[in-house]
Amino acid sequence: MSTGSVDPAVSKRSKGFLIKIWHAINIPLAAVVLALLIGAIILLVSGANPIQAYVALFRGAFGSMTALGRTLEKATPLVFSGLAVAFAFKAGLFNIGAQGQLLFGAMIAAAIGFGIDGLPSIIHVPLALLGGALAGALYGAIPGALKVYTGAHEVITTIMLNYIAINITDYLASGPLKDTSSGNVLARTPEIMASAKIPSIANIPLGFVLAILMSILIWWILSRTTLGFDIRTVGLNPNAARYAGIKVAFTIILTMVLSGALAGMGGAVETQGVVGRFQPGFNIGLGFDGITIALLGKTSPLGVIPAAILIGAMKAGASQMQFDAGVAKEIVDVIQALMLFFVAADVIVRKVFRIRAAGEEEKITLSTGWGQQ
Amino acid sequence: MMADTYSSLPNWKYFLRRYGVLTGLGLVVLMTTLYFYFRDPQITEAVLASTVRYSTPLVLGALCGLLGERAGVINIGIEGQMLMSAFVGFLVTAWTKSLWLGVVGGVLTGALMGLLLAFMSVTLKLDQIIGGTVINIIAIGLTGYFYQVGLAIDGKLKPIPLGPLANLPLVGKVFFDNPPITYAAIVLVFVVQYVLFYTKWGLRTRAVGEHPRAADTVGVDVYFMRYANVVLGGAIAGLAGAFLTLEAVGSFERVMTNGRGFIALAVMLFGKYTPLGAWGAALFFGLTSAIQTQVQFAGVDIPHQFIGMIPYVMTILVLAGFVGRTRVPAADGAPYEKE
């Protein structure tokens, strides 16, 4: 792949703000368009009307204030899981375990939420949030430590830890932490106290506001602090980082801890803002969506926000689509998978839309360290 | 280096150093098996027979993984390849009422998914970890969308006793009275072992995975070898998928692979990238699953979630203990750029 001669007008220095934005979003945008087109073809083949389906999808996501609120509500945990994946990505780590970290976060937040009574909201809400983040952080530390000390690749260990997390939280919700109130037969925890719930103000969930603040915080850490510099250096070239005196092992574990904390906080927000308790099966898939969102957002902490809103909108609108156009909700998963494919395979997208590469991009390789110490 | 120190030793010492642990382990396994067999032949036979069947998708998945990695392509999409093939195999059988056509459908689907992975990692030179993840997520999306509640098939692949061999005590029930895909898995272990280490094809595959530039220089088509092995591996993963729906369960459930594609990667590593080693590792994993089932039957009072997570915990332990002690093909995961 030749980058070609760089046109002086768009050379790095004179690049305007708008052009910069354009270069950041052109590939994801094109990927979304391609995915929607192929989704339309699948809809046609399975006998549905794609235009009707997409219109219903859009109405269900943005058609009213309630719809918009639902979209933001769905987007909230996705911003967190997307951030978790994107953040780890910067250090060259592929955290597929956001799912498990999120589950523990959701579970611990629920436990703090229903287990402690009589606290004012101003203390109870952040306490449960921090508890969730801490649980996620500890669970994220495991694959980090395994990678550093044994060389086990985080992709497999985090996926295994996801299954383990599903089992343990399922056990807790159907055993020790089960809602024992009369009439409940489901495996789920009691409802959390009102003082631990995160409210919405004028259809905007406060959890979403928190998600945006966290995105900005992570952006600041990555681009403006020494820690962020260390993380990015380790991601680009661990050997160079070691040579430059960066503690690579420490950085890797710390990155996984923070990534886990983000995912855990996402779980906590979901418990405190939406579900109101922990119930197995309610949070499945949010962690995996984080991968798509991180890549759609070009692994940028701020890019994660629009990506999460997009995926959240698709989730929010899916029911409307099912209702209006009689299309199975799961088509949304197919379109999402296609988006992931096209952002990952940006070469195809560039070919189709004739988009030229904008200079040298930071390229992170995840397959380094596969099977080696 | 190791071989040099060994070759200076007398024969029996050389044998002991080289194969001592393996022989010892084999003896222990043999003795325990016999002990349990004489105490309770029926349960022992049942446990060992289900060990072999539990190990089938794992060893097939591991064969898929090691074909790819020996050629230099990491495949973490085994899970998705299996899931997709399990689904298509099930659909084909539901439509045609033929289990065999279902198996063919599953294998072809696996090969197709292999082709997709090869396209992403060899032609597009995508990061192979991302490529595999894409395959996994696409498989979950597509199987979820096209899944129809209520679709069913009649029966599943039945055990075929191999004549008088099936009547042998112990080994008869365990090895010679299995359904077809389980036999196929055992045969494939030996076939892949032979092909990888005793044929020109195998030599080329390994060359392409170790030092593609050198292989290219002597006229081996690096891209072709990588494509071919990843597609073949996909077909084998497809067989594993067909095993799940058409031989083991007899129906399709959402995300029914349950991480087997990833456990297969641990099996591959545990088996040090050799088919025979992978078989041993898969049997070991299979045994723990079989014992789990027995424990549950016996009514031991452990929450089922704890028993259910044993394979996942073991996978992590195996990875933690064995990575770094296994030599990974040198060009594993690195796209090849022609000059």
- pLDDT tens string, chain A, 373 residues long: the values are 344 444 544 445 556 788 877 877 888 899 999 999 999 999 998 888 999 999 999 999 999 999 999 999 999 999 999 999 999 999 989 898 999 999 999 999 999 999 988 889 899 999 999 999 999 999 999 999 999 998 888 888 998 999 999 999 999 999 888 888 878 888 889 999 989 999 888 888 999 999 999 999 999 999 999 999 999 999 888 888 999 899 999 999 999 999 999 999 999 999 999 999 999 888 777 888 898 899 888 889 999 999 999 999 999 999 889 888 888 888 888 898 888 888 888 777 787 777 776 555 556 667 666 654 3
Of B124, B303, B312, the CB nearest to A163: B312
Strand ranges (DSSP E) for chain B?
A: 160-161, 177-178
**Of the partner residues B134, B263, B306, the one whose CB lies closest to the CB of residue A171:** B306
The gap from C-alpha A348 to its chain's centroid, in whole angstroms, comes to: 24
- Whether residue B119 lies inside any domain: the answer is yes
DSSP for B185-201, written as a single string: HHHHHHHHHHHHHHSHH
User: Residue A357's pLDDT is what?
Assistant: 66
The distance of A367 to chain B (nearest Cα, Å) reads: 6
| CATH code for the domain of B195 | 1.10.3470
CA dist., res. A30 & res. A21, Å (int): 14
Note whether residue B207 is domain-resident.
Answer: yes
Within a domain: residue B132?
A: yes
**Chain A residue numbers touching B127 (CB-CB < 8 A):** 344, 364-367
Asked if the structure places residue B12 within a domain, the reply is no
CA atoms of B189 and A25, how far apart (whole Å): 48
CB contact under 8 A, A151 and B141: no
- Residue among B146, B320, B324 whose CB faces A372 most closely: B324
| Number of separate domains in chain B | 1
Quick check: B176 and B45 in contact, CB under 8 A? no
Q: ipTM > 0.90?
A: no
Give me the helix-helix angle, B275-297 and B310-322, nearest 10°: 150
Among candidate residues B250, B282, B255, the one with its CA nearest the CA of residue B269: B282
Are A345 and B319 within 8 A, CB to CB? no
Range of the domain at B144: 45-322
Q: Which residue of A has its CA nearest to B321?
A: A150
- Chain B residues whose CB is inside 8 A of the A164 CB are 309, 312-313
On whether the CB atoms of residues A239 and A215 are closer than 8 A, the answer is no
Amino acid at A198: I
Residue B1 lies in a domain: no
Chain segment B83-133, per-residue pLDDT in tens:
999 999 999 999 999 999 999 999 999 999 999 999 999 998 888 888 898
Query: For testing the chain B interface, which of A95, A293, A334 should be mutated: the one with the most B CBs within 10 Å?
Result: A334
For A149, the closest chain B residue by CA position comes to B320
- Contact residues, chain B, for A291 at CB < 8 Å: 133, 137
Per-window interface: B 299-318 vs A, CB < 8 A: 303, 305-306, 308-309, 312-313, 315-316
Chain B contact set for A152 (CB, 8 A): 316, 319-320, 323
Which structure tokens are listed for A233?
């250096």
The candidate with the shortest Cα–Cα distance to A316, out of A266, A274, A265, is: A274
Pairing of strands A200-201, B160-161: unpaired
Residues in Cβ contact with A220 at an 8 Å cutoff, skipping those fewer than 6 apart: none
Using CB atoms, which residue from A96, A156, A328 is nearest to B266?
A156
Q: Is B85 a member of any domain?
A: yes
**B-chain residue closest to A330, CA distance:** B145
B63 domain residue, yes or no: yes
* Spatial contact of A289 and A75, defined as CB atoms under 8 Å apart: no
Q: Tens-digit pLDDT profile for chain B (339 aa)?
A: 344 455 566 677 777 766 666 777 777 878 888 888 777 778 888 888 889 999 999 999 999 999 999 999 999 899 999 999 999 999 999 999 999 999 999 999 999 999 999 999 999 888 888 889 889 988 988 898 888 777 888 888 888 888 888 888 778 888 888 899 999 999 999 999 999 999 999 999 999 999 999 999 999 999 999 999 999 999 999 999 999 999 999 899 888 998 899 889 888 988 888 999 999 989 988 988 888 777 777 777 788 888 888 888 988 988 888 766 677 788 888 888 877
The verdict on a CB contact (< 8 Å) between B120 and A344 is yes
